[in-house]
Amino acid sequence: MLDNHWCVSVDATIQLRTGCNPLEKHGPQAVVVHAEAWAPLAAVRDPHDIRQVVDYEVIFLAIRKLEQNPHCECLESSILEVMDAIFAIAMVSSALVSMHKPHVYNGQGTPAISLALTRQQWAASQS
């Protein structure tokens, strides 16, 4: 948790194709997505105006868009797509995205992956 920061959190369940692991090639599967975007309190001119705080709808729509993206076959590439959308919001200073597949191994295992980055780390990874 960051002091003096707003945190916008989005949780969603989507249907995502899989393809990274031969054991997972069963067509679209449920994937639980959790995303957080952190913005410094000072970046918001009027904290009483919700429209000036980080727009969680942008993050939610980026998550939903994964279902239509044929290039998002694995959790890793999907997380990077959501990170792109989060860091497109200028005031965001850091973000966390995690995804897991609750039903992949018939309830015996739930593959999960998470990525937490600051804006500087994200910018460095894009160069």
pLDDT of residue 46: 81
Instruction: Note the pLDDT tens digit of each residue in 9-19.
Output: 999 999 887 65
The average pLDDT across 58-68 equals 92
What is the dotted CATH code of the domain comprising 5-126? 3.30.1130.10
Which spans in the chain are helix H? Answer: 56-65, 75-87, 119-126
Contact status, residue 67 vs residue 14, Cβ threshold 8 Å: yes
pLDDT of residue 74: 76
- Domains of the chain by residue range: 5-126
pLDDT of residue 62: 94
Position 1 pLDDT exceeds 70: no
Instruction: Note the pLDDT tens digit of each residue in 70-125.
Output: 766 678 888 999 999 999 998 899 999 999 887 766 667 777 899 999 999 999 99
CA 46 – CA 44 distance, rounded (Å): 6
CB atoms within 10 A of CB 92: 26
The average pLDDT across 54-78 equals 84
Structural element, H or E, at residue 97: strand 94-100
